[in-house]
């Protein structure tokens, strides 16, 4: 799903310093299942589930085999929402209306289970909505395509939706958390819907499951700044293990899909990677708000090349799991074909298996797939005609390969506490999961001390109670290590566990950068990061105390970058936002952004100063973001300030200005 516009359009001002076309390919219903079964020795397939169904293994083999031979086009909700039909019938679609064929990839979402997207309904029973999602998967399969299921999950703590980032949800749904049972109940519904999606012969239809997507952004409750990397990794692993091992769902491949951009650097991309044993598809999401600018295309291709390289090294299938043109209405009439040309021209990027765009919800919303009469339709027709794009009628032998599963190797991971989790109680529960093996002995130790045995519990964890020694708390952290004896091998894992309460900042303060114990990783985990940037603690450039923030930007792949932090505060008693800033002398600029009662208020600043100074920005100088036309004219008054939910600090490139640099920030607060 496209993330909120603020993350892609914060710098609009800074840069200023048809009917089916003749020749369309004829549709071929269910072409994906019509090819003859391959002959010869079975292909060994290493995927997350070594008990996956033959068709699921064959799908993965097809994805790998297809690399470099063409890119499958995908569309979210292709059969359930559109501008060209009112009543879904399992066949009508805007894609078909545009080019005479269905997409090769059909995207669906777990929101159907909650009745929040068609064909689910808020008035339907749980069983009816489960059946509705199963039916969607069957319809996509019947049209000859591949099914992908994304997951926009409700906030299990507050009862809000996926945009509600309050409540530190991930920690609450992990084993031992207060909402763990609620999360299990959600996964139970996913399991029923996926297992219920069967072909007429009774065999389950393979589905690529894509949970917790775009987690490097801060717009979802599972995103950066709202959970740590280790918590994210563990909740992803738990989801896989619960569906695969506890619920016995064996028709899933699993996709990991952060959002752009990474400047081609795999370090940031893999920061929250759950591990090779939990991922089959390496995905990447990127939306263009610039009508196909060179900067966006260059950044996209560089990142896709990185994703493909990483996938090939790890034996995974690479994909552009979400894409779309979401910029101003003055759209590039050659957007689709220029995008395809840029991707196809790169020897690595062209190996992505599929590219899926978002839903045509109709009305006044964005048409990600052009429909007859739309300005982008001629270009989309050309995109469809290109031999390198694949639609449903082009697929052959998707599920026909004869394969054999490569068995999973023994694996152990520390589930709780997670790395850099803060424990403030006098004891915690250590939980360890071991898969594909049985351990003869499992232990935990603190700071290399005495080994304490862990016992297998009713939930399948090796667990034990760990009292917190007051002497440990005095040091601020411990290193917890777990070991498992599996045959002649010892498996091990560890975590840095933070201890004790952190002294709260005064009212109105966002950050003084003193509460991270001098640890750059802990600092980075506290913020969401948009596009390419690095945050570290600086002992040399600061306003006061021991540390300030060194904020390094890189505009090589995008013309802006940003960091953000949840606030959830009442600022109605304050009149301005203040911070200490040392610029880098460039002609670049920045935006202070306050999210208050759902409105994105902004105030710009420049980076010319190199001495370091306090900046005070009265709230009266903030205005709604230029792209937020719904709230044009809104004022950052006491009513809005009473409901502040986030602070974001964006940097944007000025015309002809430097592409890289470092600015220093300290003492961000309302006053």
HSE value, Cβ hemisphere, 13 Å, CA-based, for 138: 18
CB contact at 8 A, 103 and 78: yes
- Give the largest CA-CA distance in the chain: 78
Question: What tokens were used for 523?
Answer: 């600092």
Per the annotation, the verdict on 322 as an active-site residue is: yes
Determine the distance from the C-alpha atom of residue 394 to the mean position of all C-alpha atoms in its chain, rounded to a whole number: 29
Using only the alpha carbons of the chain, give its radius of gyration. Answer: 25
Q: Tell me how long the chain is.
A: 671
Of residues 261, 321, 326, 260, the one with CA closest to residue 288: 326
| Among 322, 325, 514, 525, the one annotated catalytic | 322
* 3-class state of residue 8 by DSSP: helix
DSSP string across 66-104: HTTS-EEEEEETTTT--SS-SS--SS--HHHHHHSS-BS
- What does the alpha-carbon distance between residue 148 and residue 145 come to, in Å, rounded to a whole number? 10
Of residues 320, 382, 322, the one with CA closest to residue 348: 320
- What does the alpha-carbon distance between residue 648 and residue 7 come to, in Å, rounded to a whole number? 9
CB contact at 8 A, 331 and 375: yes
Beta 599-606 vs 623-624: how paired, if at all?
A: antiparallel
- What does the alpha-carbon distance between residue 592 and residue 468 come to, in Å, rounded to a whole number? 41
What's the Cα-to-Cα distance from 383 to each of 66, 177, 332, 388, 476, rounded to whole Å? 19, 48, 14, 9, 58
- The beta strands (E) that lie in 289-436 are given as 317-325, 354-357, 389-390, 403-405, 411-416, 422-423, 427-435
Q: Which residue in this structure is represented by tokens 């009543």?
A: 87
Of residues 398, 318, 314, 320, the one with CA closest to residue 57: 398
Of residues 486, 476, 468, the one with CA closest to residue 425: 468
CB contact at 8 A, 624 and 633: yes
Per the annotation, the verdict on 325 as an active-site residue is: no
Of residues 128, 102, 96, 103, the one with CA closest to residue 115: 128
Determine the distance from the C-alpha atom of residue 583 to the mean position of all C-alpha atoms in its chain, rounded to a whole number: 31
Number of Cβ atoms within 10 Å of the Cβ of 453: 10
Q: What are phi and psi of 325, to 5 degrees?
A: -100, 115
- What does the alpha-carbon distance between residue 137 and residue 147 come to, in Å, rounded to a whole number? 6
Of residues 595, 593, 567, 526, the one with CA closest to residue 224: 526
HSE value, Cβ hemisphere, 13 Å, CA-based, for 271: 22
* 3-class state of residue 558 by DSSP: coil
Determine the distance from the C-alpha atom of residue 340 to the mean position of all C-alpha atoms in its chain, rounded to a whole number: 23
Question: What tokens were used for 349?
Answer: 């990027």
| Among 117, 214, 325, 602, the one annotated catalytic | 214
Determine the distance from the C-alpha atom of residue 43 to the mean position of all C-alpha atoms in its chain, rounded to a whole number: 31
- What does the alpha-carbon distance between residue 174 and residue 236 come to, in Å, rounded to a whole number? 10
Number of Cβ atoms within 10 Å of the Cβ of 327: 23
Q: Which residue in this structure is represented by tokens 């304050």?
A: 574
Burial class (CB in 10 A: 0-12, 13-18, 19+), 449: exposed
Annotated catalytic residues are: 214, 322
């Amino acid at each position: 799903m496209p993330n909120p516009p603020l993350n892609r359009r914060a710098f609009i001002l800074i840069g200023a310093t048809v009917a089916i076309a003749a020749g369309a390919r004829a549709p071929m219903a269910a072409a994906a299942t019509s090819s003859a079964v391959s002959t010869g020795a079975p292909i060994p397939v290493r995927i997350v589930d070594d008990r996956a169904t033959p068709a699921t293994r064959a799908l993965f083999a097809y994805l790998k085999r297809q690399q470099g031979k063409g890119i499958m086009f995908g569309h979210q909700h292709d059969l359930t929402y559109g501008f060209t039909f009112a009543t879904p019938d399992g066949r009508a679609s805007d894609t078909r209306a545009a080019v005479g064929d269905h997409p090769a990839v059909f995207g669906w979402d777990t929101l159907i289970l909650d009745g929040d997207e068609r064909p689910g309904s808020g008035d339907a029973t749980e069983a009816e909505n489960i059946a509705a999602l199963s039916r969607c998967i069957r319809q996509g399969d019947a049209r000859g395509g591949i099914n992908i299921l994304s997951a926009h999950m409700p906030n299990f703590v507050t009862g809000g939706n996926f945009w509600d980032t309050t409540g530190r949800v991930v920690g609450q749904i992990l084993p031992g958390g207060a909402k763990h049972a609620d999360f299990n109940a959600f996964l139970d519904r996913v399991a029923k819907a996926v297992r219920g999606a069967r072909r007429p012969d009774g065999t389950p239809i393979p589905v690529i499951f894509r949970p917790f997507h775009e987690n490097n952004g801060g717009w979802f409750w599972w995103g950066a700044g709202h959970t740590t990397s280790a918590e994210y990794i563990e909740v992803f692993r738990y989801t896989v293990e619960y569906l695969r091992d506890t619920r016995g769902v064996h028709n899933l491949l699993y996709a990991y899909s952060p959002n752009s951009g990474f400047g081609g650097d795999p370090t940031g991309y893999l920061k929250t990677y759950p591990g090779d044993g939990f991922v089959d598809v390496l995905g990447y999401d990127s939306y263009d708000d610039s009508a196909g600018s060179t900067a966006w295309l260059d950044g996209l291709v560089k990142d896709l090349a990185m994703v493909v390289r990483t996938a090939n090294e790890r034996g995974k299938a690479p994909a552009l799991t979400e894409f779309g043109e979401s910029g101003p209405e003055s759209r590039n009439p050659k957007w689709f074909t220029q995008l395809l040309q840029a991707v196809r021209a790169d020897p690595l990027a062209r190996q992505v298996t599929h590219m899926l765009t978002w839903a045509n919800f109709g009305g006044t919303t964005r048409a990600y797939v052009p429909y007859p009469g739309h300005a982008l339709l001629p270009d989309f027709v050309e995109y469809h005609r290109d031999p390198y794009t694949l639609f449903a009628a082009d697929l052959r032998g998707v599920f026909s390969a004869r394969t054999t599963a490569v068995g999973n190797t023994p694996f152990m991971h520390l589930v709780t506490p997670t790395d850099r989790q803060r424990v403030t109680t006098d004891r915690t529960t250590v939980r360890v999961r071991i898969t594909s093996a049985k351990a003869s002995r499992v232990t935990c130790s603190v700071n290399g001390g005495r080994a304490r045995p862990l016992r297998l519990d009713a939930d399948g964890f090796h667990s034990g109670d760990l009292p917190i020694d007051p002497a440990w708390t005095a040091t601020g952290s411990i290193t917890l290590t777990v070991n498992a004896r599996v045959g002649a091998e010892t498996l091990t894992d560890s975590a840095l566990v933070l201890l004790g309460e952190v002294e709260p900042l005064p009212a109105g303060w966002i950050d003084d950068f003193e509460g991270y114990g001098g640890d750059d990783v802990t600092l980075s985990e506290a913020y969401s990061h948009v596009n390419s940037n690095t945050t570290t603690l600086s002992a040399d450039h600061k306003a006061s105390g021991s540390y300030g923030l060194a904020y390094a930007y890189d505009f090589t792949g995008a013309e802006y970058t940003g960091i953000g932090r949840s606030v959830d505060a009442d600022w109605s008693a304050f009149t301005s936002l203040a911070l200490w800033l040392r610029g880098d002398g460039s002609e670049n600029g920045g935006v202070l952004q306050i999210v208050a009662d759902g409105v994105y208020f902004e105030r710009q600043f420049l980076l010319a100063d190199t001495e370091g100074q306090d900046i005070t920005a009265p709230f009266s100088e903030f205005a709604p973001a230029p792209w937020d036309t719904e709230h044009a004219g809104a004022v950052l008054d006491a009513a809005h300030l009473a409901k502040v939910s986030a602070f974001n600090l964006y940097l944007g490139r000025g015309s002809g200005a430097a592409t890289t640099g470092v600015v220093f920030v300290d003492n961000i607060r309302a006053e």
